[in-house]
Amino acid sequence: MRDAKRAILFILPTYLIITTFIILPIFFAFFISFNKWNLLAPMKFIGFSNYSKLFRSDEFWKALVNTLYYTFITVPLCVFFSLLLAMLLNTKIKGIAFYRVAYFMPVMTSFVASAFIWQWIFQSQNGILNFIIGLIGLKPLSWLNEPKGIFTVLFESFGLHIPQWLSGPSVTLFAISIISIWRNVGYYMIIFLAGLQNIPRSYYEAAEMDGAGPVRRFFSITLPILSPTTFFVLIMAVIVSFQVFEQVAVTTQGGPLNSSLVLVYFVYQKAFKFLEVGYASSAAYILFVIVLFLTYLQVKVLGKRVHY
Amino acid sequence: MKKRRIKRYIKHTILHVLLIAGAVIMIFPFVWGFSTSFKEMREVLSHPYNLIPRRFTLVNYQNVFGSIPIARFFLNSVIVSFSVTLSQLVTCSLSAYAFARLRFPFRNGLFYILLATMMIPQQVIMVPVYIILNFFRLIDTYAAMILPFVSSAFGTFLLRQFFMTVPKELEEAAFLDGCGHLGFLVRILLPLSRPILATLAIFTFMWSWNNYLWPLIVTNRIEIRTLQYGLAMFKEEGGINWGQLMAGTTIATVPILAMFLVAQKQFIEGITLTGLKE
């Protein structure tokens, strides 16, 4: 019993903070999302109006589609490059410490700083990226100020025109995705590296004796044993990409023409620029449900597959 | 035998070429931004692709300190990040100790609730948290940037996992010597946990230092803006002076990179141990 009293004292600070700033707010947000409120006038209950307004809003759909585009660009590329780098590093090669530091450096950098550096690279005049693509004969792009779809621009450079629905994510959103990939690859690489180092060398040696080539070894040993790690990284990367905010806030503020508007920036804009707090909360809750579903999937599948 | 060695040599050369190419892509943006911060405005515009400045100048750094209160922003970032980190070390140690070593009703239930809160993204609750802080008249204060992060489920979880591995006998021996729970925690368990505490401290500090969303939402006054927010605002005012912006970016980045180079091991271990926090 004395233990119980002491335990309560010990967990009190943590629980106080978590309750006030996470548990209460998540219920509070749900409640606000059914009200019309601008923080000044009294709240007014309006049922599902915020949600129906959301689903009728072109801007919201744009934000949702852009977030999905961003996810479809960043996640596969992030997973591919981080796994590739981890596999290259998992050989007995010299200088691993140096490479690990190099690849991890962007992860340490703040979103604001990395967005600034990349804005400098992406500049339409004097930007080094345009200089580089100029060397291979491509026309300069205004990377962070181009609402046209990436496929449209790509085909235009060969003089071809494609229908609007095939235009793909805007060049701007694509450029923002590049910043995120650059920043996050090192993080997932470390997780993959840990997963790879857990695979016993003897498996590979045995397979090599049986005459399995490197490709066969990758698909028959590495990939199956690594699948829980891969799945973890995959879901993690999707969740993180649904929360993208800083890169957009610092570089484009959702523009041009909403072509880089993403979910969290939509919520931020509605809540803190237009003070439509109820409306913003309904959008935030949709984001929450998506993330919750993904987390559920992660727990469910990982729970089953973690013992291979 | 010789053939094998040649084969290995070729393989390693290819590996190094690939890895170096990747490393250049990762490091180059830093190097280029860094070099730009030492160029005069004229050179930034006329010869933007020079990696080594023709005329090395510190004028951008002087301007950054002169035209924007960057020293103040830096100090604010230090205040906020240190407060958050130190308080998390204390609160998380206490709660982790309770969850790992004390027996009390609803222990598992309370622990799972705590774990569940880790799944709630900050972005989803920023509106209600703003309202709560506003209710307590805390908007535009340091407290608004610190208080919500005085403790964390992540820190509690991380420390609890480690505390559970310390053998029970150690505790019993300490109690025989007349130690209480608090004495055991402070004098024996925490010194044993130095590596994991370092990991938590580094992660929390880095997260807090780099945080942009929160200061953006809860502060207005220039005097209490943190470095990240201050920098972002600095860009919005007037046209972009790239040399100055890169000088500011360098000032904001160097402390974290230095910390990383010193405490690499803790970083890598922290990620592989938990694989949890972005």
Mutation to test the B interface, candidates A24, A84, A91, A116, most B Cβ within 10 Å: A116
What are the structure tokens assigned to A11, written together?
């967990």
Phi-psi region of A161 (alpha: psi -120 to 50; beta: other; left: phi over 0): beta
Q: Among partner residues B102, B228, B242, which is closest to A110 by beta-carbon distance?
A: B228
Chain A residue closest to B261 (CA)?
A101
Predicted local confidence at residue B130, as pLDDT: 94
Predicted local confidence at residue B237, as pLDDT: 59
A94 chain-B contacts, CB cut-off 8 A: 12
- The minimum CA-CA distance between A192 and chain B, rounded to whole Å, is 9
Q: Among partner residues A22, A232, A295, which is closest to B275 by beta-carbon distance?
A: A232
User: How crowded is the C-beta side of A181, counted as CA atoms within 13 Å?
Assistant: 21
A187 chain-B contacts, CB cut-off 8 A: 271, 278
Residues in chain A: 308
CB contact under 8 A, A13 and B271: no
Predicted local confidence at residue A307, as pLDDT: 40
Residue B269, SS3? helix
Q: Among partner residues B128, B252, B272, which is closest to A191 by beta-carbon distance?
A: B272
Predicted local confidence at residue A1, as pLDDT: 62
CB contact under 8 A, A101 and B126: no
**ipTM of the predicted structure?**
0.87
A195 Cβ neighbours under 8 A, 6+ residues apart: A86, A226, A228, A229, A230
pLDDT string in tens for chain A (308-residue length): 678 888 999 999 999 999 999 999 999 999 999 999 988 888 899 999 999 999 999 999 999 999 999 999 999 999 999 999 999 888 878 888 888 888 988 998 888 889 988 988 898 887 888 888 888 878 888 888 888 888 888 888 888 888 888 888 999 999 999 999 999 999 999 889 888 888 888 888 888 888 888 888 888 888 888 888 888 888 889 989 999 999 999 899 888 899 999 999 999 999 999 999 999 999 999 999 999 998 888 778 776 654 43
Residue A167, SS3? coil
pTM score, two decimals? 0.90
B110 chain-A contacts, CB cut-off 8 A: 11, 15
Amino acid at B57: T
- The minimum CA-CA distance between B253 and chain A, rounded to whole Å, is 6
* HEC assignment per residue over A44-58: EECCCHHHHHHHHCH
Ordered domains of chain A (ranges, CATH): 52-305 (1.10.3720.10)
B117 chain-A contacts, CB cut-off 8 A: 18, 22-23
What counts of helices (H) and strands (E) characterise chain B? 16, 0
Convert the pLDDT of each residue in A145-154 to its tens digit: 888 888 888 8
Mutation to test the B interface, candidates A120, A135, A262, most B Cβ within 10 Å: A120
Block means of pLDDT (10 residues each) for chain B, 278 residues, are: 82 89 91 89 78 85 84 94 97 95 91 89 91 94 96 92 87 86 90 88 91 92 90 70 88 88 78 55
Alpha helix segments (H runs only) across A90-199: 96-108, 111-122, 128-135, 150-156, 171-197
Predicted local confidence at residue A219, as pLDDT: 87
Mutation to test the A interface, candidates B90, B104, B124, most A Cβ within 10 Å: B124
CB contact under 8 A, A117 and B30: yes
Amino acid at B85: T
A67 Cβ neighbours under 8 A, 6+ residues apart: A241, A242, A244, A262, A263
Amino acid at A111: F
A127 chain-B contacts, CB cut-off 8 A: 48
Report the C-alpha gap between B52 and B38 in whole angstroms.
Answer: 9
Closest CA to A290 of A244, A225, A223, A251: A244
Predicted local confidence at residue B33, as pLDDT: 87
Phi-psi region of A159 (alpha: psi -120 to 50; beta: other; left: phi over 0): left
What are the structure tokens assigned to A293, written together?
């579903």
Predicted local confidence at residue B236, as pLDDT: 62
Using the Cα atoms of residue A246, residue A248, residue A254 and residue A258 in order, give the sign of their dihedral: negative
C-alpha B98, offset from chain centre: 26
Is B115 in the A-facing interface, judged by CB distances under 8 Å? no
CATH of domain B60-274: 1.10.3720.10
- Number of A to B CB contacts under 8 A, please give it: 265
CA angle B270/B94/B255 to nearest 5° reads: 40
DSSP label of A36? E
* For chain B, domain boundaries: 2-57, 60-274
Is B79 within 8 Å of B87 (Cβ atoms)?
no
Is the omega angle on the peptide bond into residue A256 within 30 degrees of 0, that is, cis? yes
Chain B residue closest to A23 (CA)?
B117
Convert the pLDDT of each residue in A110-130 to its tens digit: 888 899 889 888 988 878 888
B127 chain-A contacts, CB cut-off 8 A: 29, 32, 267, 271, 277, 280-281, 284
What are the structure tokens assigned to A305, written together?
């597959």
